[in-house]
Structure 1
């Protein structure tokens, strides 16, 4: 990568880290079949991408958008099946009935003056 190319790009993209991200994204676009806006001159894709940025032949905002889109991930939420949900609800209701029965037995034992066995 020619130093002159990077120095020309710094006039357009002042942050070197952002320049690396944008040039990398443009290089990937070229590798995927994107049209070149400058002559290749036997240069590799990263150098061509830097030359395009320096010559202002590519839109930086479009590169930023495609970079962000490429880094975003879509996560699917794994929701329980309806049958599993019903089983869970029945199990939860069953445990509530058992708790109520135990509480009732303790209450009745206390009313009778008997020490409850838990």
Structure 2
């Protein structure tokens, strides 16, 4: 394939596994329509990706981020934590016990339904 290009890339990215992963992700990006930073010269996308890496035309941090996002099945979105009603009730109970003793800790009575509102 492009042995000279691979040997040039090893200088930039010494780990061969990372080199293959970065080059394959860059080749996929090129196939998806990413802008090429050098002349193609009738080379295929993997060779163009290796040449870009060898000539340090790409930022390795950007390549790594692209690789990670390309491998993710779905992106985790930080959601606000759901309100835990039981924890709130426990906190209210603890506060009531601290302030007024056992009398304040009694559960609040539910409003009684009117006789007319009750279904038969």
Normalising by structure 2, we get a TM-score of: 0.60
- The alignment status of 1:50 with 2:50, answered yes or no, reads yes
**CA-to-partner distance for each residue in 1:56-77, whole Å, 9 max, x for gaps?**
001111010011111112389x
Shift in CA distance, 41/75, structure 1 to aligned 2, threshold 3 Å:
closer
Shift in alpha-carbon separation, 1:8–1:71, aligned structure 2, 3 A: same
C-alpha distance in structure 1 between counterparts of 2:75 and 2:52, whole Å:
35
Segments of 4+ moved more than 3 angstroms: none
- In structure 1, runs of 5+ residues without a counterpart are 77-118
Q: If each structure's helix is expressed as a fraction of its own residues, which one has the higher value?
A: 1
Offset at residue 18 of structure 1 (A): 0.6
Larger gyration radius, structure 1 or structure 2: 1
Paired residues, number: 76
| Two-structure CA RMSD over aligned residues (Å) | 1.5
Superposed CA offset, 1:41-98 (max 9, x none): 000000000000000001111010011111112389xxxxxxxxxxxxxxxxxxxxxx
2:18 and 2:41 mapped to 1: Cα distance? 25
Secondary structure in 2 matching 1:7: helix
Using structure 1 for the length normalisation, give the TM-score.
0.61
